[in-house]
Structure formats: C-alpha cells, structure tokens
Amino acid sequence: MGMPEVQSFRFADALASYEDARYVLLGVPFDNTTSYRPGTRFGPRAIREVTYNFEPYVPAFDLDMNQVPLCDLGDLEVPVLPGEMVEEVRGAVSGIVRDGKVPVLLGGEHTLTIGAAAAVRPEWYVVLDAHLDLRSEYRGTRFNHACTNRVVSEETTDKVVIIGARSGDREQYRFAGDLLCFSADEVRRAGIGAVLTEVEEAIGRRSLYLSIDADAIDCCLTPGLGTPEPFGLTPYDVRTAVERLAPLASGFDYVEVCPIDDGQTAAVAAEVVRLFVAAHWSASRQGS
C-alpha cells in the first residue's frame, strides 16, 4: 500500500518548482512585538488553508492560477528576537530577488516588511495600513510593528505612500506630512480610484514594494486582526489598489492576519494574494 496523501498546507495551485517559478511565496510566522492581540503567527497557515476553497480560475484576468509559475517555500524558521527575524527575512528575500523572482510574503506581523523591503530595494514603498507605524522606536527597539513604515522610509526609500491610515500619535502625523499619505476618510470621500490615480502620477513607471496590512480594512468587515481599527477601507478598495499597482511591484506582502474570526480575514488575504499574482503575471505577459 502506498503512503497516504498528506495536506501540506502550501498555497493552492503553487505547483511550480523553485527553479521554474516566477513568484515565490514565503511565510513569516512571527508576532513577538505584537502590542495588543497576539496570534498573527498563525496567519500564513490560515491564508494557505483557505486557498483550497477557491477555484483555480481568476475571471478578472481570464487566468488559471495553476498555469502561473508559482512556488511556495513554506514558512521561514524565525528567531525570537525581532532584529534577528528582520535579518533572516532580508537574507531569504535577497536570495529570491537575486534569482530573478518576485517575493510574495505572508505574515505574521508587519515588522517583517522591514527586511523584505530592504532586500527588494524598490524606488517607492506603498503600504495600505490603518496605522501610520512611523514611531522612531517602540518598547525599546526600532524593529517593531509600530515602527515599520518609519524604518523603511529611513533605511530603504524615502518615497513612501500610505493609504488608509487613521491612527497614530501627534509626532507620527507630523512625520507623515513629508510623505504621500491618504487617510481612510480621504479615500471614502474621493474614492479609491482617484487616490490611486494620484499615486500612479507620482510613481510613474518606477518600481515599488507593495505591503498590505490586514487592518487597513475596517475591522467590522474583517475582524481577525491583532490591532483592529474601525472606519477603514473596504476589501474592494484593497483589491482595486492591488490590481492597479501590482504591475509595478517587485515585491509584495500581506501581513497582520490574526485568525480568530470565522475565516473572513484570511479569505480576503488569500484572494488578494491571488489577485496580486494574477495582475502581475498578466501585465508581464502583455508587456512581452
């Protein structure tokens, strides 16, 4: 009798080998600097699990995901200290980029983005986030989820776009004045399309790293969050942003899914990851 088939909880339809892949998924199950509700370390698994609920076909791009060269490396074995975790992520993502592939990271808390963005070295950094995350340090370290966007702006690129922010202290809002920042209220008033047009005009055709913090979305819609905030973006806002910005992205992550709900937060994350890959792959094929 042969060995039974075992569910590995790799991302569904991630069928390519690393050598053949264009997109490489990597989970970072780390939440050691979480300041409110822990549990985002379980986010990568929750996101992967729910992908088996979806059909391979993505109608928005007339594309079958099982035809896209996508590989899932599984989860990075992360150290306890956040600074060491950031270095592990930077090293792993540097290898993926060096091999000519697009890294797609699943969080885990937002601190992982510091290492990933440093490895990708984009010209622009675009993040959808409820929180400004512009503290210079928090609880004794710069490697903290509350400092992510500040560290990226100071160490990787000062060309930063924040969309959906609605939380931060006075000093962070002062710092944000030098960035291209759109609150959730501004998105609601102007519409996500108008905001993205302004972002696209600023970026042009330059490369970007795209980071989606799950709490950018209103917590009443996707409550599986470590640091929930009401009055946020909608899943459609996030979907639109990813579909429009993906073609310029050289790296991507979806972070801060805390699977304590009925699965809706992970489901949105999984579908947005699929749409990122589909949008990027479709644009690259049209370009070629």
Q: For position 269, what pLDDT does the model report?
A: 98
Mind listing the pLDDT tens digit for each residue in 104-125?
999 999 999 999 999 999 999 9
Checking if the pLDDT of 4 tops 70, the result is no
Q: For position 31, what pLDDT does the model report?
A: 96
Mind listing the pLDDT tens digit for each residue in 82-109?
999 999 999 999 999 999 999 999 999 9
**Mean pLDDT, residues 221-231 taken together:** 97
- Average pLDDT taken over every residue of the chain: 95
Mind listing the pLDDT tens digit for each residue in 239-285?
999 999 999 999 999 999 999 999 999 999 999 999 999 999 999 98
Q: For position 5, what pLDDT does the model report?
A: 43
Domain boundaries, the chain: 23-287
Share of residues in the chain with pLDDT > 70 (%):
97
Contact 125, 160 (CB under 8 A): yes
DSSP 41: G
Q: For position 8, what pLDDT does the model report?
A: 57
Note the CATH number of domain 23-287: 3.40.800.10
Q: The pTM is what? A: 0.96
**Long-range contact set of residues 93-102: C-beta below 8 Å, sequence gap at least 24:** 93/26, 93/119, 93/120, 93/251, 94/119, 96/24, 96/26, 97/250, 97/251, 99/18, 101/21, 101/22, 101/23, 101/24, 102/22, 102/23, 102/24, 102/249, 102/250, 102/251, 102/252, 102/280
Checking if the pLDDT of 166 tops 50, the result is yes
